Structure 1
Amino acid sequence: MNFLSLIKPILAISVIVICFFLSCDKDYHSVGVDLLTKTTLKTRSFNAPVYSYQKKLNYFQTDGLPLGQLGRIQIPGFGVSKASITSQLRYSGGPVFGNYTQEAEVAKDNPAVIDENEKVTSVYLDIPFFNNLDDADQDGVIDLFDNDAKDPESDSDGDGLSDIEESRLNLNPLSDDSDNDGILDLIDTDSSSFEYENNIYQIDSIFGNRAATFNLKVYELTYFLSPLDPLQNFERNKQYYSNTDFFEQGFIGAKLCDTLYSLNFDELRFNYKEDDPETNDVDERNKIQTRLSPRIRVPLDIDFFQTKIIDNEGEDHLSNYENFTRFFKGIVIRADNFSDDLYMLLDINNANINIEYDYNFNNSNGTLDNTSDDIIEINSKVFSLNFNGVRFNTLNHQDMSGEIDKEVQLGQNNIASKKSYLNGNGYFSTIKLFDKLNSQGELLDDLRNNRWLVSEANLFLYVDQDHYISSDLDIIKRLYLFNYSNGSPIIDFTLDNSVNNNQKNKDKFIYGGFLEYDDLGRPYRYKFRITNHVNRLIRKDSTNYTIAISPANGINSIGYKRAQTSDQEFINYPSTSVLSPLGVVLHGSGGEEMDSSKIQLEIFYTEY
């Protein structure tokens, strides 16, 4: 079969189809013209009424959070916030100190088993800072220090070698003389002495004066932190709240640390303790063995841990986790006497107490059956306790503004607020759309009867700029909306799958909630796109529930904690809203009628 014979049937069918459509052409166009002439589409905007009410939490659940808060800070418009940490301690596996169990040491059935005589040599509390190693262009220089974070060929130290080239050559992209030998990298033929494994960190989540000094104190806790609630017949987890303060109640024992402290943001590096005799040309004591990210690191009382932990090897106290937490109930970490404001969000999930101890080691020199050539040597090990048990924050608030209490009282009487105070200490607002009572009022009924297609709905919340004249350091950069009745996010948050891989806390950017700035660089407003929520109210007769607004320290993992409001009501409150001391003062809805800074809901719609 040739090409022409194949295509003839196809051409015939095509002609028939074309003729059919030509015969229908007149009717087809007449219908379209009729639609366009009878229907006129008009795009308009409508500013819907919004009513805001100030709310306050008496206390909220702080156990099970992903970070620990420690410090003191004064936030404009809110007063002073203080935070301390209370935590159980856990260990991994059954504790055997040295190489042999205490039972084996006492039995002396094996001549190779000696009295190991463990002695604590140091104890350190380590709590890492949150850090940022973001490197958008993968050139070996984190974005904070990169001359051009989007160009791997940039030259941050100006030495004629690009950042990516220096990283590949194991040089320092932030120094033109990596090994400090006086010879520039561009012409240096040997920079091998440079420790290219060293890291430079950007530290996150430290507020206030990073150079401030303070007294760091650690105490033994004498109150048992039960993981299960006795009031719930031990069938549910026990909840620990922000107003729980076992230190003030006197449940403390030995003081394990009391030292004047200042933060160090450098990588911690530890050299080998001993030289390797087999490497004659290298002294390992000058070489780095261990690197740790920047952190709080303080020594604790050696004698306490010798008596409390090491000397109890083989005792029931250390036989299992439950016995251990009743024997050593935990610690309380406090900070006071600050030279200036300093408030830290700490990586408590990776915190630990490291107990280093020496012990006797029987070196048999490879002759297990002959003890005559055995040598007693001193070895060392580390026993670690982590913070993965019950832990919580105690949060105290002092010198709070009287204006906040006035707004809270107005809110309790269902009077709209002139100012909205949002803060990680438990201050938030509720808003009602279209109607003060959130009922199916006349306005919402009228909107539902209109022939509207809502294309976009934006909620605007304006910053009271009088509180932020000189700085925005103490203002939260993002807010969050949730259903006040059950704590769930609004539908626009749930449906927004937008992702920003270059910046933290910037996902779901269509939904928004970000702080925006005016032309002078001052904090100006927050904007939420709540199109789906409004559409459901107007087109699908959804329930017009009360929305709550709170600070957001992050939105990638949204859960909630139990909290009690000043109305003695228990609610589900977003976890993200209690993870930072920061907040913002906004204009509410109770100001002058024509005040353009009042909270606004702008709806764009098409009328047909």
Structure 2
Amino acid sequence: MRNNSFFKIILIAITVVFFTSCDKDFNTIGGDLIGNEHFGLVNSNYNVISYNQKIGPIQSNNLPVNALGVYEDAVFGTTEASFATQVILSPSNPVSVNPVIGKNPVIESVILNIPYFSTVTKTDPTSGESTYRLDSIYGPEKSKIKLSVYESGYFMRDLDPLTGFLEPQKFYTDQADDFNNLIASARLNNDTDVSQNDAFFFNPDERKETTTVDEKETVTRFAPAMRLFLNKDYFKTKIIDAAKKIDGTDPGKLTTNDVFKNFFRGLYFKVEKSGSNIGQMAMMNFKGGTITIKYKEDSSATEGERVEKSIVLNLTGNTVNLLSNTNATDYTNATNPSVIDTISGDTKLYLKGGEGAMAVLNLFGKTDVRGYDEDGKPTVGSNNVPDELDDLRNPTDKKKLLINEANLIFHVDGAVMGTNKLPNRMYLYDLKNHRPILDYVADGAGLLVYGGVLNATKVDDKTYKFRITNHIRNLINNKDSTNVKLGVVVTADINNSAMNILRLPLKEGTTLTRAPQASVMSPMGVVLHGGTANVPEDKRLKLEIYYTKPN
């Protein structure tokens, strides 16, 4: 009997502890379970001061993907994206470092090949032929651009001498003149087929090659790619004649890649508009590109016989994306430092990738009360109006709020954007410390809770929503936490939170020193409604918080 009573007491004690623990965890657990229905919760909207910020020239070297082409946008203007890359001798398949060239070499072809990002949409079961859709392409299908490929005379060093060769060398979006002034060859893609140069376009068609062995034909199919025929005479002089010969002579230019990268400093892909064509832009993985030099030479084993050989060059090493912008008038005016309203906020927010623009957010800001400066400290304002964040931290009834959910909701300015293509995603981050906010860090694969995804279910009211519950909880519960300003940009890759350096000296009106790398990689732009009083209330940028108050 005594044992039974003892176990009953233990069971009751455990039950009490369990429910007490659950109650303490309600604030955290409850927020993760909240959906679109907020039964029994109090909802309040809070002010957000938001304004435009031009980014300016920014570090664009060694990006994961690079833009190439012309993108014409009615709202933001026209961007021309050129590209430069070092070239290295392939270390494998075949080994092209320090090749030995036989007698009487003659080049058969020099082919530049860079795969596009593409998706198979249909495959013919009879012929095996596939239809592809090119991904990450912007502008009208098959619209032409002028593409010129040159040898670059600009040496892209690995380390920065200004840092005592302790830091990597940085290259920036506005350095096109540096490469234009040091072009080291005539145009290499000088084929008579204008689709190779003056009227180039990103071709979505599958390519096939037919080979015959013992009277049997074999068809090999290839996904869409940039495939350019480069000048054979040039590569005969630059590569074949510069390599070690079978007779022992050696100019010493292809002995190692360190020597080769100084001898052949790389390729410069220069882009211009092609006549009246609007043009197209593609995001490309140049590091997957190759130059294959196929040649024939005398056989060393059989007199009179010719053998086929090849040298492969990889488009790896240092790279830089070079951007030239002709901005639309409204975009230029909206991001002019003289008209940006950092106190009351801007009515329209212009977000543009590349060498573009972003929005700066000051949560809990009001025009007639103190807001928060770039260090997160309160600024001086009217003392007779309470501060919203202080009210949440110190409620008048002394009852601590349980924050269940907090969202930032941006509305697309449909009247301005019209039928323009919209970015699929935006990135919200801690502007002061150049790092993700807590909700980004806490989220899982895909960052779907954190959000920033375009919601186009309502044609007349497209939105982007960020869940910033953890960020707001931290601000309210930890009174020593700093209410830092937030930045929001378009992004090409939500999983990339790296930051790139802006070029010094900074452009007038730019106070940033860094901006998100994934924004540099995107050519897209969007205009959003700000949080000012003259924006219709249902379209106004707002911070909405759902919370419960303990009884």
- Pick aligned residue for 1:577 from 500, 503, 519: 519
Closer/same/farther in 2, CA of residues 231 and 550 from structure 1, 3 Å limit: same
Counterpart of 1:478 in structure 2 is 425
Q: Deviations over 1:56-93 (max 9, x none)?
A: 11201110101121111122321111100111111123
Amino acid corresponding to residue 437 of structure 2 in structure 1:
I
Alignment RMSD, CA only?
3.0
Change (3 A) 1:101 1:518: closer
Work out whether residues 96 and 313 of structure 1, in 8 Å CA contact, stay in contact via their aligned partners in 2: no
State TM-score, norm by structure 2: 0.81
Give the secondary-structure state (helix, strand or coil) at the position aligned to 2:415.
helix
C-alpha contact 2:97 2:257 (8 A) present in aligned 1: no
Task: Judge conservation of contact 2:66–2:284 (CA < 8 Å) in 1.
Answer: yes
Which residue does 1:85 correspond to in 2?
Answer: 83
Q: Percent of pairs identical after alignment? A: 29
Rounded Cα–Cα distance in structure 1 between residues aligned with 2:547 and 2:518: 33
Give 1:560's match in structure 2, choosing from 499, 509, 513: 499
Q: Take 1:467 and 1:92, find their aligned partners in 2: how far apart are those partners?
A: 49
Q: 1:47 aligns with which of 34, 42, 45?
A: 45
SS at match of 1:65: coil
Equivalent position of 2:482 in the other structure = 543
The alpha-carbon deviation at position 494 of structure 1 amounts to 0.6
Normalising by structure 1, we get a TM-score of 0.74
Residues 22 and 342 (structure 1 numbering): CA distance in 2 closer, same or farther, change over 3 Å?
Answer: closer
Residue aligned with 1:431, SS? strand
Q: Label 1:417 to 1:127 Cα distance change in 2 as closer, same or farther (>3 A).
A: same
Q: Match of 1:313? A: 243
Any idea what SS the aligned residue of 1:253 has? coil
SS in 2 for 1:554: coil
The residue identity in structure 2 corresponding to 1:218 is V
8 Å CA contact 2:84–2:268 kept in 1: the answer is yes
User: Who wins on radius of gyration, i.e. which is larger?
Assistant: 1
In the other structure, the counterpart of 1:445 is 390
The equivalent position to 1:334 in structure 2, one of 244, 247, 270, is 270
Q: How far apart, in 1, do the equivalents of 2:252 and 2:10 lie?
A: 92
Q: Distance in 2 between matches of 1:14 and 1:528?
A: 55
Q: Give the one of 340, 349, 355 matched to 1:420.
A: 349
Distance 1:48 1:607 in 2: 18
Which position in structure 1 is the counterpart of 2:284? 346
**Which aligned pairs between 1:484-503 and structure 2 lie closer than 5 A?**
484-497=431-444, 499=445
1:486 touches 1:571 (CA, 8 Å); kept in 2? no
Match of 1:150 in 2: none
- The aligned residue for residue 382 of structure 1 is 310
Match of 2:364 among 424, 434, 441: 434
Equivalent pair of 1:217/1:334 in contact (CA under 8 Å): yes
Q: More deviation in 335-344 or 90-99?
A: 90-99
- From 271, 281, 287, the counterpart of 2:210: 271
| Worse-superposed segment, 488-497 or 204-213 | 204-213
Structure 1 distance, partners of 2:417, 2:158, is 43
Q: What SS class does the counterpart of residue 510 from structure 1 fall into?
A: coil
* Aligned partner letter, 1:117: N
Amino acid at match of 1:325: K
Q: Secondary structure at the match of 2:349?
A: strand
Shift of 1:316: 1.9
Q: Which amino acid aligns with 1:46?
A: S
Are 1:454 and 2:403 counterparts? yes
* Counterpart for residue 257 of structure 1: 189
Contact preservation (8 Å) 1:97, 1:313: no
Mapped to 2, the partners of 1:350 and 1:405 lie a distance apart of 40
The 8 Å contact of residues 227 and 390 in structure 1, kept in 2 or not, is answered as yes
Q: Which residue of 2 aligns with 1:157?
A: none
What is the CA-CA distance between 1:23 and the residue it aligns to?
12
Is the alpha carbon distance of 1:582 and 1:51 closer, same or farther for their aligned partners in structure 2, counting shifts above 3 Å?
same
Secondary structure at the counterpart of residue 241 of structure 2: helix
Number of matched pairs:
487
User: Deviation of residue 270 (structure 1)?
Assistant: 1.8
Could you tell me which residue of structure 2 aligns to residue 3 of structure 1?
A: none
Unaligned runs of 5+ in 2: 24-38, 191-196, 245-250, 366-370, 380-386
Residue 407 of structure 1: how far off its partner (Å): 4.2
Answer yes or no: is 1:123 the counterpart of 2:54: no
CA distance in 2, matches of 1:19, 1:242: 73
Cα distance per residue 1:183-217 (max 9 Å; x no partner)? xxxxxxxxxxx55xx65433210111122123321
Gaps spanning 5+ residues in structure 1: where? 1-11, 36-40, 103-114, 133-141, 146-173, 180-193, 277-282, 364-373, 500-506
